[in-house]
Structure 1
Amino acid sequence: MEHLLTWDLRLFFKINGQWINGFLDFLLPWMREPYLWAPLYLFLAVFITYNYKWRGFFWMAFFIVTFALTDQCSMFIKDAVDRLRPCRDPLISQYVRVLVVYCPSSGSFTSSHAANHFGLAMFSFLTLRSQIGKWAWLFFLWAAVIGYSQIYVGVHYPLDILGGALLGILAGTLSGGFFQRRIRLELEQTT
């Protein structure tokens, strides 16, 4: 475990302190902001409603449930693990580049941003790939950029992102799988 945490700290400082440039310093703090992604959420709502009419309501409901599930599970794990964020750790905080207005006081493991976005990416991938084909993989790129941003701005370690991503993928697989097996098939049979 000690080797894993040492690797985590070293990778954190590579991303947060060495693999940096002015463009990423400007861009990545914005990439983690929820309102920046509002157009994507709006596009998905319009796309689903246009293509599925009233059935799109069920998809949007599961999308929201997936978000809530990942968020609550991540908060539970954060409280249980109680890992300090790099920007709050008194042993290293003076060496951390914090590129956001504030450093959250909640725990670091797991990243809720990573859990939420990877959960939504997995749910969207499973439920939309038959409609959008290979473009469905872009949902994971979107989630990965947000996860990387969390490390870059100094509020999470790489293992926090990995843990959040795995939690999100699990939740997205469960909700997406349930939607595909139960709701979507029942809706198709009733039309």
Structure 2
Amino acid sequence: MLEKIAEWDRNIFIYLNSLGIEDYDVFWSTVTNISTWTPLFVLFFILLWIKYPKKEAMFMTLTVLVLVAFVMGFTDLTKEFVARLRPNNNEEINKVIRILRSPSGYSFFSGHASSSFSITTLVFLFLRPKYKWVSFFYIWPLLFTFSRIYVGVHYPIDILVGATVGTLSAFLFYWLYHKFITPYLASTHPL
């Protein structure tokens, strides 16, 4: 069963990766770079600080940062435990795929997917009562994670599992925020 899933994953990856067109290589190489998205991160925090009192915005910001540390740590531990080669390092397929990046390390699951979906989901949950349009933020993780297939460094299952882990982690941290921080903030407000 696992072999069948791995074969399906490889075949879907090869198909999606082969859709790449040289004219778009610069675009996807830029999209896959984390620093490209710095203005969006800044916007996330500006919106939190505009719409919430300073103390609450500070705790929301800290919650997002702790979430990122948690997700990246969990991702790294999982990668080391599973030890799945990235497509660009897999000799069975790396001669037939387009490779625009060549990171070492392991593939399962995608840190780009887990971190981008965790950040976006938590910020979405914090901001949705204040802005109706925040669901548009999901364009970022969708582009960001697809770019990992395009540049040849992640299989689709790496992306799907990473997105799931990131999203579920964000819901967990949102629940923890409301369980432990919201009551603290309420108790510090003057009557």
TM-score by length of 1: 0.91
CA positional deviation for 1:138: 2.1
Q: Which amino acid aligns with 1:65?
A: V
Structure 1 residue 23 displacement after superposition = 4.6
Give the corresponding residue for 1:107: 106
CA RMSD of aligned residues (A): 1.6
Cross-structure match for 1:57 = 58
Consecutive unaligned residues of structure 1, counting only runs of 5 or more, are none
Contact 1:122–1:176 (CA under 8 A) maintained in structure 2? no
Corresponding residue for residue 35 of structure 2:
35
Tell me the percent identity: 31
1:104-154: CA deviations, max 9, x gaps?
111100011101011111211221111112x22223221111111101100
Distance in 2 (alpha carbons) for counterparts of 1:180 and 1:138:
24
1:1-191, aligned counterparts within 5 Å? Answer: 1-17=2-18, 19-52=19-52, 53-100=54-101, 103-133=102-132, 135-188=133-186, 190-191=188-189
Q: In the superposition, relative to structure 1, how do residues 118 and 99 fare at CA in structure 2: closer, same or farther (>3 Å)?
A: same
- Residue segments in structure 2 that go unaligned for 5+ positions in a row: none
For residues 6-34 of structure 1, what are the alpha-carbon distances to aligned partners after superposition, in whole Å with 9 as ceiling and x for unaligned? Answer: 211111111111x2234532211111211
Q: Which moved more, 1:142-151 or 1:24-33?
A: 24-33
How many residue pairs get matched? Answer: 187
> What is the distance in 1 between the residues matched to 2:180 and 2:131?
21
Which SS does the other structure have where 2:166 is aligned?
helix
Where is the helix percentage greater, Structure 1 or Structure 2? 1
Paired with 1:12 and 1:6, the residues of 2 have a C-alpha distance of 10
SS of the counterpart of 1:83?
coil
